[in-house]
Chains A and B, each alone.
Chain A
Amino acid sequence: MTTEHNYFMDALVFLGAAVVFVPVAKRAGLGSVLGYLVGGIAIGPYLLGLIEDSESILHFSEFGVVLLLFLIGLELNPGRLWGMRRQIFGLGGTQVMASAALLAAIALLFNFDWRLSLVAAFGLALSSTAIALQTLEERKLMATGAGQNGFAVLLFQDIAVIPMIALLPLLATTHAEATTTPWLQVLKAVAAIAVIILGGHFALTPILKRIASLHMREMFTAFSLALVIGIAQLMDYVGLSMALGTFLAGVLLADSEYRHELEIDIEPFKGLLMGLFFMAVGMSIDFNLLVNQLGPVVLLAVILIAVKALVLYALAWYLKMSNSDRLRFTAVLAQGGEFAFVLFSLATSTNIISLDDQSLLVLAVVISMICTPLLVNLVEYIIVKQHQNTPQPQDEIEENNGHILICGYGRYGQVIGRMLHGLGHSTTLLDSDPNQIELVRKFGFKVFFGDATRLDLLEAAGIGNARAVILTMDDQQLVTHLTGLIRKNWPSIVILARARNRQHAVDLYKAGANDISRETFSSALELGSSALNFLGMSKHNAWRAAQKFRHYDEKLLAAQFEMEGDEDTLIQLSHRSRRDLEEIYRQDQSILEENDNEWT
């Protein structure tokens, strides 16, 4: 009973610290990462001492990084990943090699053992995926040159850590006893990756569809989490990086229509675990060591940051990034990362590094991590200052080719979607019924499954750079609500909506729709014009009569909309439409009687 109580107490302490420190840090413009780190320091053993066991928490919360990489994988379909290969291996490879070489050279200059120098240099060359990506995302820099290139570098590092860990035993002075035959190990690893690729490719989408059609959100969430944890465990079992395995699964699911739904389900867990991870990092700072070894620790941290910043800045300069991209790219990646912890503790267990050296290195990495948000802030300050002095340059964010977002893909939406798609417009579809969207994926539509009233889903579907949103669901209330919601959050976007009837049309205009179409009105006009034709009017004249009626009725509608702006919103809806209809009939008699005598 007492242990259970402790768990809840721990959770309360962590969540409390997050709620207290993160908003303060955000408000101060320092970013959430620093808030978590400081929160971790506060509840850690050296200040309040509320949580003692920082190491196991650090280990547990590293799963946040695993989830993070799954989410990153979801953003990258195999095609995009392939397209980034030069950035990843060229830029990433150069960064790791150059940083490691420089750091090793400096260590050798100080007469350290060469093995120690080598391991330390490679460990420190890796940046923190968690901190860098969190910072990029939080400051909305992912789409900039700094974000794209930074991401490529981080991805390379995540891959590079695998051979580093694998090669570590070769440097060991005392050999760890071989556990299994190496070829069996390799076979297992290959089999595991094959399972992920084949399963991800063939089995996952049908399973996700089955689960989605249950319409139980928690089942979808449960499956998403089970999937990620399962893959992580499989990778762990065969001795590969958990993060890389889930990244691979993410990439395979990147083309799936359930991608955004998965993202949204995993996102909060990732966020909380990442927060926990940052707090654990803060807690792990050994203040006794810091005070005793202040000089060496600070020197080490400064060298670490300086060397990495130098390499990054040089690379950014070589790639001709813009000034602000260069500065951001440098600041965001100039720190040690969580993989250094893993590498160093492994090196310690194989006696390459002494326990004292390990603590020193880890402390320097943690300090460099804490410096990142500060460095980023400094850089942003410099960029703002420069912008103030020079005339405003062109927007650096790459203009995403505006697409058209269609919410609701039933019979109504399909006509619009087919038409726009046929004319070569990039269309994104959103529907909550998996059966509606399954088929059209094959024809190159971007299709997402989910509830359109969720802002995060709209955002994930790219409403931010959409040229227009078309709402075609048949639920009136939903369309009105969504119109208001979108108008409030994206004030300048074009909203086109399907209206069920007159009253709905008025409501939609009020909610902020740019244009509406009354679904029955147009087809009724068509049939009416056909009736006139059968009654003996020529087709052209019947068509003109229908057009004339359309203009007339639209004018009435506009007048009705204006009128309702200021008066009697209290009148019951049914009364209102009835009164309107009477008025319409009265006016019809006068206007349509006008004779049409334009031709001889």
Chain B
Amino acid sequence: MVEIWPFVIVGAIAVAAAVLMLLEENAVHSALYLIVVMACISFLFLLLNAPFLAMIQLTVYAGAIMVLFLFVIMLLGAEKVLPADPGQGKNRMRWFTPLAVILTVGLLFVIGTPLLVGDSDERLAAQPMVRVLNVAPDAGIIDVYAGDELIASGLAFGDASPLVTLAAGEQAISIVESAADQAGAQAASTLTLEPDSVQTIIAYGTGEQPTLALVAEDLSSVPDRSSRVTVFHANPEAPTVSFVDFGAEFVEDDTQVLLADLAPGERAEPVILREGEVDWAVVDASNHANVLYDMPDFEIARDRSDLIVIAGQRIFDGSLRTVAVPVETPAEPTFGSPRAIGFELFTTYMLPFQLLAMLLLAAMVGAIVLTHREPDKSRRRVIGRRRVSRPLTSVIASQVGTDITTANGSPAQLPDADAVGK
């Protein structure tokens, strides 16, 4: 959350700098004040969770654009522009300034009043995203319908369907055998889908009719180099389990309990784990020695949100074996992070991105064309050489400390602005 004091201070600085920018006569000073404003805005970007923008603002805007401004100011010697004589030709425009001020203030009011008075819309809730995980050992290959919509097809044991967006509220979920008519549903239940949620429908349980459970997931951004792990116990015939990391083999008491006492049908709270390989074992919660399922070298990748479901798998002899089925989903990138920006930029906004590139190219060419002069080798006028006060070279020279001279010893001058070919 943004705090108020940095905001107020930096905002004040920005406004002040803007006002000073307008009031200054010296164009260089004005440019510098503008840089100050840009810096403030960059800071405000940071306050708004837009680190990428802050960087771009500083590098491109303050760093490139304003420098270009300064270049041209110095080139044209415009740091001091004498105001034109108010007498000539300005008489008829004396109405201008008051009118401009009035209109501008009016604009301020016009925008400000609704801003202050009006209500802002509520953010629309996002629709729930749902997928189905089939860990029912006896159900076979299933199709899943939400209402009349097929949301998963051909799910074998351990398969998860991709995320689909459904309408919030109550949905009638029905499971049928794959490619079979919906009428003969193996299981059907009505589940309430909450908005702004990511839900996994887990079909588990022995017997012909699997049980449907709704497990909420959290796909929001995880801290850096971390992953979120959520565990759900979906084997009703297994006892309460714990997730244990035995650690080194030979070290005593190196056992870490990651999750304790997860009863069947329960969902554990998501935990954030650093990336790496872990050796986990799903053990009986009461007896750690009873290893139900071993997960050696389980890799925890970064920026992921994993759902591990403990399910019973029927093995060849008909008995049920406890397994842990991981469902791995990449987590959302951090809001405002370059990753998030890049994510959008190279998918949704690819075309504008390329177009802007073309635009920049055109601008480059245009700038060169507009300012290009034929080199005038024939004559070099002696008269009317524009003397700029403190040309850039001398500024640089003074700062550097050395004199920059041309071959013939005179201080370097800018090319003659007079000899413009007409």
**A and B interact physically:** no
